[in-house]
Amino acid sequence: MPGFPSRHKPLQRIAPVHVAQAQPENYGQGRGGRPWRRKRDEIMKRDQYLCVPCRAAGRVTAAEEVDHIVPQAEGGTGADNNLQAICVDCHIAKTKAEAARGANRSHPRRGRSADRPQPRGVGQNFEGLGSDTGRSAKFSHGQN
């Protein structure tokens, strides 16, 4: 009835279980946070909103992204002198090249260098197995 107080507690807008999930503690930090957006704006303004790799190649293209010149995975920093304005096409091409270099670093068999030894047994004959394994060099498959 109107005029009488409600016997029920008012419903919460968000269930208590989900309150912690509503906005994480580190919201706005990292790549999309305010500090990065400020730095990105500074770099875009410094490079006159033009793609640096395209300008080096003699083209004029509007930049849409900011990229690390030397990737952080290869020892680059987040300093202004390691950032450049870049168009989407150049960024995709540069990222593919970096990924290929990273794959060769993490999978040395694709591009094995001379300073890395071959895994044990690769490219070796089995003549000397008798002395260190207790078996003869001929594998008899159960025949002695």
**Tally of domains in the chain:** 1
Question: Per the domain annotation, does 137 fall within a domain?
Answer: no
Instruction: Look up the pTM and report it.
Output: 0.54
Question: Per the domain annotation, does 71 fall within a domain?
Answer: yes
Q: pLDDT for 52-73, tens place per residue?
A: 999 999 999 999 999 999 999 8
Cβ atoms of residues 54 and 37 within 8 Å? no
Alpha carbon distance 37, 29 (integer Å): 11
pLDDT at 115: 56
Cβ atoms of residues 62 and 86 within 8 Å? no
The ranges of the chain with pLDDT < 70 are: 1-2, 11-31, 106-144
pLDDT at 136: 45
CA atoms within 13 A on the CB side of 143: 4
Alpha carbon distance 48, 60 (integer Å): 11
Question: Per the domain annotation, does 64 fall within a domain?
Answer: yes
pLDDT at 118: 56
